[in-house]
Amino acid sequence: MGKLNVNLCGIELDNPVIASSGTFGYGYEFAELYDINCLGTFSFKGTTKEPRFGNATPRIAEGPSGILNSIGLQNPGVEKVISEELPKLKKCFHKPVIANVGGFSMEEYVYTCKKLDKEEQVGWLEVNISCPNVHGGGMSFGMQCDAAYAITKAVKEATTKPVLIKLSPNVTDIVSIAKACEDAGADGISLINTLMGMRIDLKTRKPILANVFGGYSGAAVFPVALRLVYLVAHAVDIPVVGIGGVSSAENVLEMMMAGATAVQVGAANLLDPFVCRDIVRDLPAAMEKYGIDSLSDLSIKQGAK
């Protein structure tokens, strides 16, 4: 059997399959269905300094081969995540986990990251500067190089664990922003977050989402995500975690051939709660089919940069 293990920012993963933040809760919900330790790891639900109820409903709408969401970072706040969610997570998941962090100011990002950095099971901090569904924060920090640099630098100075910066595709030059994060000390880049979109109810003639716009994810965005992963992976010297429309072992291989070190599975979890388990199961056969002996050898260095 081919070698599935990869190294993400100095931490060894049994395989590159990671369940994406916002689609996998805190893990224990899925642990009722199967042993989630088969995953490389997962990124738990986006956490902010204070509790958030999230956006008004409706906040989910279907689209062609995808889904729009406008959840708005609903979470119980970092204190309760540490005191209530992580102890439950630890009972069912025995590997380092990715802590996804949101915020509305540099101070909030730093505060939340410092808190989670002290948690033993947290292996990486995934700093979300790309959420399109909140006002006055989130994506606004990931739209310009100087803001992305400042957030990255501040978090790195306050923490000890590897920092992944999660970037938005809703920009004109994602490569420059990724390079700014690398210059500020980021250990890796996660991309892409969701694309901005909307739907209109023909009967009411009004937007379906209460927030009007939402983040679009699902199979339809895979080619877009693959292109941006390729561009960024060829421009930076730090690991890239590929995200966007992944739903099969073949998609994982494509992402890794584009330059991703590991791959997150997001919206597909909402359609099939067993999809991550099945991708891990199917990877060896897919590797054999395409003559791949080791996933860690799928490097952009093999192709023209």
Return the active site residues: 131
Cα four-point dihedral sign 25, 28, 33, 35: positive
- Cα gap 73→117, rounded to integer Å: 20
How many other C-beta atoms lie within 10 A of the C-beta of residue 121? 15
Residues 6+ apart with CB under 8 A from 274: 33, 34
Residues 6+ apart with CB under 8 A from 57: 210
Cis peptide bond N-terminal to 58, omega within 30? yes
- 74: its two tokens: 């609903």
How far the first Cα of the chain sits from its last, in Å, is: 30
What residue type is 133 in one-letter code? N
How many other C-beta atoms lie within 10 A of the C-beta of residue 176? 14
Rg (CA), the chain: 18
Residues 6+ apart with CB under 8 A from 89: 26, 27, 28, 44, 97, 121
- Cα gap 139→131, rounded to integer Å: 5
Residues 6+ apart with CB under 8 A from 36: 19, 27, 30, 42, 92, 93, 276, 277
Tell me the DSSP string of 230-270.
Answer: HHHHTT-SS-EEEESS--SHHHHHHHHHTT-SEEEE-THHH
- Cα gap 135→69, rounded to integer Å: 15
